[in-house]
Chains A and B, each alone.
Chain A
């Protein structure tokens, strides 16, 4: 399978703490995208990082990319209960198709 791996599979933290999720993939990529999914609903696009970028920020989100290790991380700072969701990374290998990681389930307790 070409599917990427994410770890941890599940993460539980208190409000205000930071959450870090990691994604590893197998092929060369054009870009990597992070998504959030609440309770089995549609995916919300969070951030896209290109293969020639190493770090990107958007609000409380920070994404890093290491193409030599074929890995990426998503950091959510000062987490809130509303951040409770599943988070997926997805890679675009320049074929326009996204290959999704296995996902991380984040639970933020108030």
Chain B
């Protein structure tokens, strides 16, 4: 299994600003992912965070808006740039450890943009 922590757990931000969310896994993992959960909705994959290379973004998400870093096998960051109220969501990090198909999720970051 994997234990995942995220910082911050929640934040309230002004439109036009940016927020960086950190994700830390307690063990080395092959795959890390970032999801968005809009209010009352299910989860949507934003991107796969690739170690040592650029993230792979899903349709509808772009690097300029959601830059992602993954400097090593246990850590990743997601930045929500130039925020608007439509970015108010829960952002979740997940990881898939080696030798397993199970994906584990962090506790999420609840973002409110005013």
A50 CA / B105 CA spacing, docked (Å): 20
Q: Which residues of A contact B4 (CB under 8 A)?
A: 42
Q: How far is the CA of A48 from the CA of B37 in the complex (A)?
A: 21
Interface residues of A (CB under 8 A from B): 3, 30-31, 33, 35, 40-45, 48, 50, 88, 90, 92, 96-103
Select A102's contact among B42, B45, B92, beta carbons within 8 Å. Answer: B42
**Structural contact, A88 and B106, CB atoms closer than 8 A:** no
Chain A residue at minimum C-beta to C-beta distance from B6: A42
15 residue pairs bridging A and B, Cβ less than 8 Å apart: A31-B101, A33-B102, A40-B90, A41-B108, A42-B4, A42-B105, A43-B43, A43-B92, A43-B105, A45-B103, A48-B102, A92-B103, A98-B43, A100-B44, A101-B42
Q: Does B110 contact A (CB under 8 A)?
A: yes
B77 within 8 A of A: no
Determine which residue in B4, B31, B101, B108 has the highest number of CB atoms from chain A within 10 A of its CB, and name it: B101
Pair A33/B103 contact, Cβ less than 8 Å = yes
Task: Select B43's contact among A44, A96, A100, beta carbons within 8 Å.
Answer: A100
Please state if A97 and B48 are interface contacts (CB–CB under 8 Å).
yes
Q: Which of A31, A45, A103 contacts B42 (CB 8 A)?
A: A103
Bound state CA distance, A97 and B108, in angstroms?
Answer: 18
B37 — which chain A residues lie within 8 A by C-beta?
40
Determine whether the beta carbon of B33 is less than 8 Å from that of A97.
yes
- Could you mark each residue 78-114 of chain B with 1 if its beta carbon is under 8 Å from any beta carbon of chain A, else 0? 0000000000001010101000011111111010000
**Cβ of A43 to closest chain B Cβ, rounded Å:** 4
CA distance in complex: A40, B10 (Å): 12
In contact, B108 and A96 (Cβ under 8 angstroms): no
> Given contacts A96-B31, A97-B33, is CB(A42)–CB(B101) below 8 Å?
no
